[in-house]
Structure 1
Amino acid sequence: MEDKTIQPLVSIIIPCYNYGKYIEEAVQSALDQTYENIELIIVNDASTDPFTIDILEKLNHHSKLTIIHHESNKKLPAARNTAIKAASGKYILPIDADDKVDRTIVEKTVEVLEERADVGFVSVGIQYFGAINKVSIPSPFNLKTLLYRNIVSVTSLFRKEAWEQVGGYNEKFIYGYEDWEFWLNLAKHGWHGVLIKEPLFHYRKHGKSMIDDAVKKHLKIVSQIINIHSELYNETKITHEEENLIKR
């Protein structure tokens, strides 16, 4: 990689609500990056667990790390937006507090954004760990596919200017799929996506999660997405089979 003095700053953001059990692993994976010019911002979304509060206090002494505290629980999309508003980086990488990333993810994704001005976000493959151990490589970015299936991993690098252009994450999506709506919004504003076919995002699979909640509320949330981005769905010719896939 280039010398640190000319590397663009990357802001790694981690929202946290009562995930003290895992957040040290997430933070360490962020700090272990081969890419040097990073800052790390944690948003404590009004955690109530004393263990989590103690862990965050312990982490607060690292020179590259800033912790912001919400006075009330504002949910995941708002916590991400809070972190990004405070971020100084040209590029943003969101990581959930119970997940991890490969040490080369920033280096490899930054390279794509630096080389291609038309690309707004870079997705990667997923390594599941915990209750499930498997690798998943999503389909390459394609708007038509994205309309009926979220093919962009939540932990993908994107331009802060793109986030500003679309007004950030939609804070109404508190039950999940907030990332799917965000990628659609970026695409609607002309940004392209690129996939790196390597499992650089490590997703912890365990018990109940927001994704489980999203699956249960799938039809309601998908209807919300279609309503918000109706022009995209109206302009793109989707087959009856693809329309059914959206609602599964």
Structure 2
Amino acid sequence: MTLADEVVAQIASAADADVASQLARYFQVRPGGYGEGDVVVGVRLGELRRIARPYARRPFDPDDWLPLLRSAVHEHRLLALVAMATRSGVGDEIERTLITRTYLANTAHVNGWDLVDASAAPILGRYVRDHDRSVLDELARSESVWERRIAIVSTHALIRAGESADTFRIADALLDDPHDLIHKATGWMLREVGARVSQDALRAYLDDRAPRMPRTALRYAVEHLDADERRHYRALR
């Protein structure tokens, strides 16, 4: 039995129809929703992390994980990404590079906000801390909402390292984005800059950009500022 077969069997054993119904609504798999056509079997992230844990102790081999990453089942893809993210944090430079290349070659399957949020920073963000960051700009220009979300959420790893320039640059590239999922992610990352790097840097950014920022992005960005400042920046909008 292959690794993928073992994982699929464990996910099937843990699947719950009631949870599947809840997750289907949450991820909008309905017709016209952003997750339209996805298949959800009903396993929550915490349980997927538990299942993934022993497999993530093995060095990354794309042949093990690509059948899961390319699966029609949402939880298969999420577990594969969780394992890849874990290995990216513990493997050497060669393994980290292989994981990142595999990730970038398969972004079509990182097609849900939870899939992006579980993987972008620990895989791509961690990698670009020590490598060329232009891939973030390329993803920010993508027609895919998921690749654009990968671009901004990846900067969380840089924020954690005390950097904000890349977040501001990618936020600028996404300032006029039409999708609410991008507004939320951009506001989230800006809020993280204020929380982890510098509130003054966040204020300087908002002083200039708040008048044109989408309302949702601005609301997320100012959440950790005091009440007077929140009112000030919302009034600019």
The reply to whether TM is greater than 0.5 is no
Higher helix share: 2
- Structure with max Cα Rg: 2
Higher strand share: 1
